Amino acid sequence: MNRIIITNVHIIDPENNIDKIGDIFIKDGVFSEQFDDDAVLIDGTGLCAVPGLVDLHVHLRDPGQTYKEDIITGCRSAAAGGVTSLLAMPNTIPAVDTPETVAYILDKAKDADAHVYVVGAITHDLKSKTPTDIDALKEAGISALSDDGRPVENTAFMAAAMKKACELGIPVTAHCEDPYLAGGKVNEGKMSEMLGVKGMPAAAEDTGTAREIALAAAYDLPIHICHVSTATSADMIRDAKKRGVRVTAETAPHYIMLTEKELEKRDADYRMNPPLRTEKDRLAMIEALCDGTIDAIATDHAPHSVEEKSDFVNAPNGSIGMETSFSASYTVLVKSGKMTVSQLIEKMSCTPAKILHINAGSLSVGKPADVMLFDPNETWTVDPDKFHGKSKNSPFKALTLTSKVKLTVCGGKIVFNEI
């Protein structure tokens, strides 16, 4: 059925400054005016309807590590979290450094439950040795450039990629990290000392952030800073914006809800890169979101197997997050009164769509019918065994969150329904 009517729902659409009870009409994959034809009727009483979420930072592990996740299961997980568009990072095996790999991902994503946008690598195999053919990658269908998973160590390569990306009208998303300072397991400080493991200093992230801001300022080019986690990086981004530097930034739900204190459990599900930081840093991320310094909330969804995560010290970095991102962010920001729902949706849908230059983030008539319904009053306890992806490595496990995704429509198709 290609016709859906959602009735008596609380519509919140920041792009159109709409906040009212009403009906939503979907026909042939787009939002439509009212019509009388037969349609699937969905009672939205007590629920809120918002534009589908746009996640700027997702690792789908496909190709190469599909035992952790694949394009189909990753998008199934996205749908369960209200995510209708996602940006797939290039650190697959092989890396997304050839048109053939881009084509593989886009072809497989045709049948997925979310719109998949592909990030092309800046350097071959993400090794900062040889630049990729960016024109060829763009022709193959990439939507952004990054070596995420690693920083681009060669500054000249990074500058060239930023220039080329600007010409092509796509963003560069930067994994900000000095590899000579990095390499630790948890945040460097009291926690790393207590655990007896090598720490990763905030300076590793901050020096990387400083370099990318300097490039953006020197060449008057845009740059998007990934997974901001430190107060100092937030301060630098805030200052750069005041100076007119074309910088945008994202943080992740775990950096606004959790701190390094979680590592006392010696559970590798709480290990990611950047690592969970201090309470000062957590509060700085919230402040930066609220004052507009940080533009977006993205998950850095990074699936790993239970076996891989069983060894606290030697496990790979990363945690999953698409099925909890909205509820966790709502709990920290909206329930506390720091943001309205409309402001949160700007951070999780409207602004990410603008950064990625995609036709999303709005409920306007004629736009692709990507919409998420949620219950703002439902509380639920996170149980990774009920997730829809392959991996369970959630840092939100066993936490009780407020607001629950109940229905996701992607391109006019119902891809998740718990009403």
Specify the pTM.
Answer: 0.98
Q: What is the pLDDT of residues 186-197, one digit of tens each?
A: 999 999 999 999
- Kindly give the pairing relationship between strand 40-43 and strand 296-297: unpaired
Catalytic residue among 300, 375, 383, 385: 300
Using CA atoms, how far apart are residues 281 and 189, in angstroms rounded to an integer?
A: 13
Confidence check: pLDDT of 96 > 80: yes
Which tokens go with 200?
A: 């990763």
Q: What is the pLDDT of residues 372-405, one digit of tens each?
A: 999 999 999 999 999 999 999 999 999 999 999 9
Using CA atoms, how far apart are residues 96 and 109, in angstroms rounded to an integer?
A: 15
Which tokens go with 415?
A: 């891809």
pLDDT confidence tier of residue 1, bands split at 50, 70 and 90? low
Q: Which amino acid is located at 115 in the chain? A: H
Q: What is the pLDDT of residues 211-222, one digit of tens each?
A: 999 999 999 999
9: left (phi over 0), alpha (psi -120 to 50) or beta: beta
- Kindly give the pairing relationship between strand 53-58 and strand 83-88: parallel
Q: What is the pLDDT of residues 155-179, one digit of tens each?
A: 999 999 999 999 999 999 999 999 9
- What is the pLDDT at residue 220? 98
Structural domains present in the chain: 52-362 (3.20.20.140)
Average pLDDT over residues 80-91: 98
Tell me which DSSP letter residue 318 carries.
-
Residue entry with tokens 């939507």: 143
Residue 300 is among the residues annotated as catalytic for this protein = yes
Do residues 304 and 218 make contact, with C-beta atoms less than 8 angstroms apart? no
Average pLDDT over residues 101-125: 98
How many C-beta atoms surround the C-beta of residue 8 within 10 A?
13
The strand pairing partners of 27, in sequence order, are: 3, 30
Task: For the chain, give percent helix, strand, coil, nearest 5.
Answer: 35, 25, 40
Confidence check: pLDDT of 205 > 60: yes
pLDDT confidence tier of residue 351, bands split at 50, 70 and 90? very high
Q: Is 145 helix (H, G, I), strand (E, B) or coil?
A: strand
Q: What is the pLDDT of residues 238-281, one digit of tens each?
A: 999 999 999 999 999 999 999 999 999 999 999 999 999 999 99
Share of the chain above pLDDT 70, in %: 100
Nearest to 255 by CA among 279, 291, 223, 224: 279
